[in-house]
Amino acid sequence: MLYTLYEAGYYASTPLRSATRLVRDFWGSPLNPAKDTDLARRIFAGADLAANLTRRYGRPAWGIDHVEIDGQPVRVRPTEVWSSPWVKLTHFARDMADMRRAGRRALEPAVLIVAPLSGHYATLLRGTVQAFLQDHEVFISEWSNARDVSILDGRFDMDDYIDHVRQMLQQMGPRPHVVAVCQPGPAVLAAAALMSEDEDPSRPATMTFMGSPIDARLSPTVTNKLAEEKPFAWFASNMIYTVPPPYPGVGRRVYPGFVQLYGFISMNVEKHQEAHRRYLLQLMEGDGDSAEKHLEFYDEYLSVLDLTEEFYLQTVDVVFQRYLLPKGELTHRGRPVRPEAIHDVGLLTVEGEHDDISGVGQTQAAHALCSGLPAALKEDYVQPHVGHYGVFNGRRFREEIYPRVRAFIARGEMGFDSQELAA
């Protein structure tokens, strides 16, 4: 019922939204001789803010058409290389002629970035992709919005998620590298364990976990405590709704993205209010550059997707309430998941000192679980002065975290040091 009311509210506000757009376009038009007056800027700013607050935010574009490598621009083309109803595997193909001009002639390591399936689109990792494109063939998982998947395509749960991670790795050929950003950590570790036990030729050469809840019992955050304090039945009763028409997934039970977004905003209401107040002042003062940065952030932040009922509830149950992976009790389609079976996959964990989503220690827990790995294949790093987002985006990620990840992947590509492994 809530989903239907949400949609009804959106369509009911259409006349207001249309009116604010007309006002904004009139006072912002270069043909309006009063455009640059103080009054015009004030009216334009108010109308623009109202239009942005009431509009629908869809899947953002990647906006990556080139990357700079060794001072040379290299053209980039996102290409779909594999898909299912639930995910699209995108390869950011770099132009080979440009690569040769940049002095890169040999094949570079293939890296699968597993994006979170936790409410936002994969484009949240735009900065992550741009960094990795400097030295790697980059692939990323673009998860589908559950409301756009027909109920005829069936369920999608944690087992399906693990299967999809494994299938994407297999599409990339022998021994690719995998980077799990936040939420996918447990599923990626499970997939690596199953592939290692099966001696799958496409098992990763290295796996990097960034701010992942491998063991959510450690350094619990507000998010972790909420999952612990509420009984499982509360999540099933209060967080799940039915997709209404006209969406392709009509009738599917989902955890709506707008519900999660409301939860995120309610945790920092004053911060968001202040950000929009600054945006209004910037428009009134004619500070277009600062206003554009605000829009870029909120275009991404307010773009959300729905999760299937079964995937969301299993994540709450398995990862945040019963902690099955760190307790050695996780199974995949009835088969035990054994991280200790991983014996030749490099393991790097990265955490942020001020992470308020996955506390310090939650990602490091992967090292104890992967007891079959020699110390030479393990590395841990805690980045000072960053929160959750800073683990995979921003200046410190580019300048301090990414170089460590790049070096670790390079070691894995070379097979690590044989003397260290023997020791």
Query: Is the pLDDT at 420 greater than 70, yes or no?
Result: no
CA–CA dist 56, 65 (Å, integer): 25
* Token pair recorded at residue 304: 């959300």
Question: DSSP characters for 24-72?
Answer: HHHHH-TT-TTTTSHHHHHHHHHHHHHHHHHS---PPP---SEEEETTE
Decide: 214 and 186 in contact? Cβ < 8 Å: yes
Tell me what percent of the residues of the chain surpass a pLDDT of 70: 98
Query: Is the pLDDT at 419 greater than 60, yes or no?
Result: no
**At 262, which amino acid appears?**
Y
Average pLDDT over residues 142-159: 97
Please tell me which residue, 268 or 150, carries the higher pLDDT value. Answer: 150
Query: Is the pLDDT at 421 greater than 80, yes or no?
Result: no
Average pLDDT over residues 114-138: 96
Give tens-digit pLDDT for 303-334: 999 999 999 999 999 999 999 999 999 999 99
For the domain made up of 66-231+307-422, the CATH class stated in words is alpha beta
pLDDT value, residue 286:
80
Query: Is the pLDDT at 299 greater than 90, yes or no?
Result: no
pLDDT value, residue 84:
98
Query: Is the pLDDT at 417 greater than 60, yes or no?
Result: yes
Query: Is the pLDDT at 138 greater than 80, yes or no?
Result: yes
Average pLDDT over residues 286-304: 84
Range name among 92-101, 166-175, 350-359, 408-417 with the lowest pLDDT average: 408-417
The continuous run of DSSP H or E covering 255 comes out as strand 253-255
pLDDT class for 252, splitting at 50, 70, 90?
Answer: very high
Compute the mean pLDDT over every residue in the chain, rounded to the nearest whole number: 92
How would you classify the pairing of strands 335-336 and 331-332? Answer: antiparallel
CA–CA dist 423, 421 (Å, integer): 5
Average pLDDT over residues 350-360: 95
Residues comprising the chain, all counted: 423
Please enumerate in sequence order all residues whose Cβ is within 8 A of that of 198, keeping only pairs 6 or more positions apart, or say none.
none
Average pLDDT over residues 5-15: 84
Question: DSSP characters for 339-380?
Answer: GGG--S-EEEEEEETT-SSS-TTTTTHHHHH-TTS-GGGEEE
* Token pair recorded at residue 267: 């945790």
pLDDT value, residue 273:
87
Query: Is the pLDDT at 369 greater than 70, yes or no?
Result: yes
Where do the domains of the chain lie? 2-56+257-301, 66-231+307-422
Give tens-digit pLDDT for 406-415: 999 999 998 8
Decide: 359 and 218 in contact? Cβ < 8 Å: yes
Please tell me which residue, 340 or 47, carries the higher pLDDT value. Answer: 340
pLDDT value, residue 411:
95
Query: Is the pLDDT at 336 greater than 90, yes or no?
Result: yes
Decide: 243 and 147 in contact? Cβ < 8 Å: yes
Tell me what percent of the residues of the chain surpass a pLDDT of 90: 69
**At 123, which amino acid appears?**
T
pLDDT class for 269, splitting at 50, 70, 90?
Answer: confident
- Strand order across the 307-308 sheet: 241-242, 253-255, 307-308
Query: Is the pLDDT at 291 greater than 90, yes or no?
Result: no
CA–CA dist 161, 224 (Å, integer): 21
Query: Is the pLDDT at 288 greater than 80, yes or no?
Result: no
Query: Is the pLDDT at 1 greater than 80, yes or no?
Result: no
pLDDT class for 53, splitting at 50, 70, 90?
Answer: confident
In 115-232, the DSSP E strands lie at 137-143, 177-181, 206-210
Range name among 74-88, 119-133, 287-301, 363-377 with the lowest pLDDT average: 287-301
Question: DSSP characters for 306-347?
Answer: -EEHHHHHHHHHHHHTS-TTTTT--EETTEEP-GGG--S-EE
Predicted TM-score (pTM) of this structure: 0.92
